[in-house]
């Protein structure tokens, strides 16, 4: 039976309520994924879970082997991927503690392996990326949030920077002019690779801080972790509601 894959980001090394039943080391044509794929149950439904930064390792955003991660997940007969991202808020509505279901992305990264297409089969892989996130999957997540009484912003633009450093205030101002609502470091090329593999993909963004130059307090990892711990529990409740709706 097809299953859901969950990709966890910063602060989501383990999912609340996840009962692990197996770990699967996977070799891919692109190397090893961030860690073995964990198979288990969440709210009684089988899922596959991958922490993109590794655990207990801490792979920085620009060094993640995104191709290996996506290739490994697709080998388990999954029919959708829900990715969790920790982000900074840019637009006025993206206050700390909000959850966003983005419908668009702007990629500011560079030097990452962005495609499975290496030009070896004589065919160019020009995917349609007009709508980078799967609309049906997004609708299911919005319905799950409503059913669970969880606030989830229904649309927004996810700007993805290179990292691992945080952005300058001027960079954030440019992103605001570009129309970005939040900024993170791991949303691309993950979304595009999922599209190349024809796997429906959606992201849930946890706003854990105001982006550089927009908050009253200095950006510290301590304050971000406090928000991450709280929001990770909310995201776990959202995923449980989502899985119940697909049962």
Please spell the DSSP secondary structure of 81-95, one letter per residue: EEEEEEEEE-STT--
As annotated, the binding site for substrate includes 185, 209-211
Q: State the Cα–Cα distance between residues 142 and 153, nearest whole angstrom.
A: 9
- Say which residue the tokens 């620009």 belong to: 62
Q: Tell whether 147 is covered by a domain.
A: yes
Q: Tell whether 82 is covered by a domain.
A: yes
Q: Cβ distance 99 to 206 under 8 Å?
A: yes
Query: What percentage of residues in the chain have a pLDDT greater than 70?
Result: 91
Tell me the mean pLDDT in the region 3-16: 80
pLDDT in tens, 92-110: 999 999 999 999 999 999 9
Q: State the Cα–Cα distance between residues 204 and 99, nearest whole angstrom.
A: 7
Q: Tell whether 121 is covered by a domain.
A: no
Instruction: Give residue 228's pLDDT.
Output: 80
CA-based R_g, the chain, Å: 17
Q: Which domain holds residue 17?
A: 3-108+130-246
Q: Tell whether 19 is covered by a domain.
A: yes
Identify the three-state secondary structure at position 110. coil
Tell me the mean pLDDT in the region 48-76: 92
As annotated, the binding site includes 10, 52-53, 185-186, 209-211
Q: Tell whether 114 is covered by a domain.
A: no
> Is pLDDT of 235 > 60?
yes
Identify the three-state secondary structure at position 31. strand
Q: Tell whether 115 is covered by a domain.
A: no
pLDDT in tens, 157-169: 999 999 999 999 9
Tell me the mean pLDDT in the region 204-233: 79
Q: Cβ distance 238 to 144 under 8 Å?
A: yes
Q: Tell whether 118 is covered by a domain.
A: no
- Say which residue the tokens 């304050």 belong to: 223
Q: State the Cα–Cα distance between residues 1 and 105, nearest whole angstrom.
A: 31
Which CATH number goes with the domain that contains 196? Answer: 3.40.50.1580
Q: Tell whether 120 is covered by a domain.
A: no
As annotated, the binding site for phosphate includes 10, 52-53, 186
CA distances, 189 to each of 62, 109, 115, 129 (Å): 10, 8, 8, 12
For the chain, what is the domain count? 1
Which letter does DSSP use for residue 28 in this model?
B
């Amino acid at each position: 039976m097809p299953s859901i894959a969950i990709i966890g980001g910063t602060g989501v090394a383990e999912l609340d309520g996840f009962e692990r039943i197996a770990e699967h080391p996977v070799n891919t044509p692109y190397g090893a994924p961030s860690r073995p794929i964990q198979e288990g149950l969440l709210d009684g439904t089988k899922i596959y879970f991958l922490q993109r930064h590794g655990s207990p390792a801490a792979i920085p955003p620009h060094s993640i082997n995104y191709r290996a991660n996506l290739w490994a997940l697709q080998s388990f007969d999954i029919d959708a991927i829900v990715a969790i991202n920790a982000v900074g808020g840019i637009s006025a509505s993206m206050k700390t503690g909000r959850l966003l279901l983005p419908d668009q992305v702007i990629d500011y990264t560079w030097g990452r392996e962005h495609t499975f297409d290496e030009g070896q089969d004589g065919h160019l892989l020009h995917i349609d990326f007009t709508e980078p996130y799967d609309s049906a999957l997004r609708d299911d997540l919005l319905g799950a949030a409503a059913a669970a009484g969880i606030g989830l912003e229904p649309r927004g633009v996810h700007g993805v920077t290179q990292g691992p450093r945080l952005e300058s205030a001027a960079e954030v101002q440019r992103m605001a002019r570009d129309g970005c609502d939040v900024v993170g470091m791991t949303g691309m090329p993950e979304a595009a690779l999922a599209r190349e593999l024809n796997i429906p993909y959606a992201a849930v963004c946890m706003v854990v801080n105001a982006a550089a130059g927009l908050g009253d307090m200095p950006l510290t990892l301590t304050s971000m972790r406090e928000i991450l711990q709280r929001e990770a529990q909310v995201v776990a409740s959202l995923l449980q509601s989502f899985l119940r709706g697909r049962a």
